Structure 1
Amino acid sequence: MIEHLRAYTPFIADLHATYARITAFNTQLLRWQKVQNLVSRETPGDLWTRHILDSLQLLPLIGPNDAPLRVLDIGSGGGFPALPLAIALKSRPVSFQLIESNARKCAFLRAMAREFDLPVTVHTTRIEAVDPQTIGAVDLFTSRALAPLPLLFSYLCRFWGADSRALLHKGRENGEELKTADSAWLYDVLRLPSTTDPDGVILDIRNLRRRA
């Protein structure tokens, strides 16, 4: 499996240390999955590709820049894509804030943040209940399998700043979701093919704002 990470060596400081931490995280996730429904019941045997590599494919889109980066992940669930990214970017000045309403999942997220000494803050609440001042400036938003784009945009816009950007995992319905979102939202978008899902894309969203 370490071979899967070699493509990301320009974006991580230590390939072998990252692989060891990712492998340990995978083990912990499987252990917690036995008592909590952190990911789909059908997928634990394929966690590496369907969840971990699916998350890490954002690394080239984030890029190798060593400038501080403040990431907000909404609807974090079992920690994807935020936790694999936080592990891979551990040596860089990147901080993560995770919003998740399920208290049991938040317990897992906090346990992993402690276990791997990650710069992660977890907010146990609904997205619409979070005070944007509590979050502060956001450089990058991530979200995976949370909500249709029109609703997702309404979540993001409360925290959106002039320099914000979003990298959103979307499935085969992404085209229809974009068409629906166009009625209420203006934005710039790049549709990038997923490296793990032949029907999926990563939407790179910038300049998000409501239509007047």
Structure 2
Amino acid sequence: MSVSRETSDRLQIYADLLVRWNSRINLVAPGTVADLHARHIDDCLQIADLSKETDGHWADLGSGGGLPGLVLAIAKADTDLSFTLVESDQRKSAFLRTVIRATGLTNASVVSQRIESSPPLNAAYVSARALAPLRQLMAYLDRHLGPTGTAYLMKGRQWRAEVEEARKEWSFEYIAHPSRTQEGAVTLEISGVSHGAE
């Protein structure tokens, strides 16, 4: 994704803060810090490319180090989208709020609660990366995704097995978008979530 100078500057501020904080709290695997942009930031920007949305409420579940939620909020800062980053770890929540302040983002806020116990967000869009097996994520979508909403879930090579397992309990439509940064990985674009197997 080609980004504006302002977006690029904000992403650099985010990257610098992530490297600084990562020595104190585990935001990303230490071995991936040297390749932070390609391994993490560019990876998450794929969702910004896939989603053409320009307004509405977006919930990022289990935001951790801000992947993909903060990256998306930065990439979509010039739209009317508002982002809620849900993260139960207080230290990681503090990091997310620090980045929001440092980058001057006005479209993002942090909810420091567990995903399964925070009030339903009724979001138009939901994202998650490296959070949980798809079957578990479906329960989170059922709670926080609006009835006509779309989810963007980043999954590794075992995504087909996860879809098969999730379909035993959930009904949903999906499109698998191949990853440009990790061979075999995909972003699952999911809609029409309802409890009960098809």
Alpha-carbon distance in structure 1 between the residues aligned to 2:61 and 2:70? 12
Q: What is the aligned partner in structure 1 of residue 116 from structure 2?
A: 128
Q: Are residue 50 (structure 1) and residue 50 (structure 2) matched?
A: no
More divergent stretch after superposition (114-123 vs 196-205):
114-123
- Out of 80, 101, 104, the position equivalent to 1:114 is 101
Percentage of pairs with the same residue: 38
- Out of 8, 11, 14, the position equivalent to 1:25 is 14
Q: What is the aligned partner in structure 2 of residue 140 from structure 1?
A: 125
The count of residues paired between Structure 1 and Structure 2 equals: 196
Q: Are residue 90 (structure 1) and residue 72 (structure 2) matched?
A: no
Q: What is the aligned partner in structure 1 of residue 176 from structure 2?
A: 191
Q: Give 1:35 shift.
A: 1.7
Q: Are residue 162 (structure 1) and residue 151 (structure 2) matched?
A: no
Alpha-carbon distance in structure 1 between the residues aligned to 2:10 and 2:146? 33
Higher strand share: 2
Q: Give 1:41 shift.
A: 1.6
Letter in 2 for 1:189: Y
Letter in 2 for 1:130: S
Q: Give 1:62 shift.
A: 1.0
Alpha-carbon distance in structure 2 between the residues aligned to 1:86 and 1:191? 23
Q: Give 1:18 shift.
A: 1.1
TM-score in terms of structure 1 length: 0.88
Q: Is the 8 A contact 2:145 2:151 kept in 1?
A: no
Q: What is the aligned partner in structure 2 of residue 12 from structure 1?
A: none
Q: What is the aligned partner in structure 2 of residue 104 from structure 1?
A: 91
Alpha-carbon distance in structure 1 between the residues aligned to 2:12 and 2:193? 36
Letter in 2 for 1:70: H
Alpha-carbon distance in structure 1 between the residues aligned to 2:188 and 2:161? 13
Deviations 1:107-135 (A, max 9, x none): 00011111112221111121111111xx3
Aligned CA RMSD, in angstroms, stands at: 1.3
- Out of 136, 161, 165, the position equivalent to 1:180 is 165
Q: Give 1:166 shift.
A: 0.3
SS at match of 2:146: coil
TM-score in terms of structure 2 length: 0.95
Q: Give 1:163 shift.
A: 1.5
Q: Are residue 37 (structure 1) and residue 41 (structure 2) matched?
A: no
Q: What is the aligned partner in structure 2 of residue 206 from structure 1?
A: 191
Q: Is the 8 A contact 2:176 2:186 kept in 1?
A: yes
Q: Is the 8 A contact 2:173 2:192 kept in 1?
A: yes
Deviations 1:145-175 (A, max 9, x none): 0000111101110123222100000001100
List gaps (5 residues or longer) in structure 1. Answer: 10-14
Alpha-carbon distance in structure 1 between the residues aligned to 2:27 and 2:143? 27
Letter in 2 for 1:125: Q
List gaps (5 residues or longer) in structure 2. Answer: none
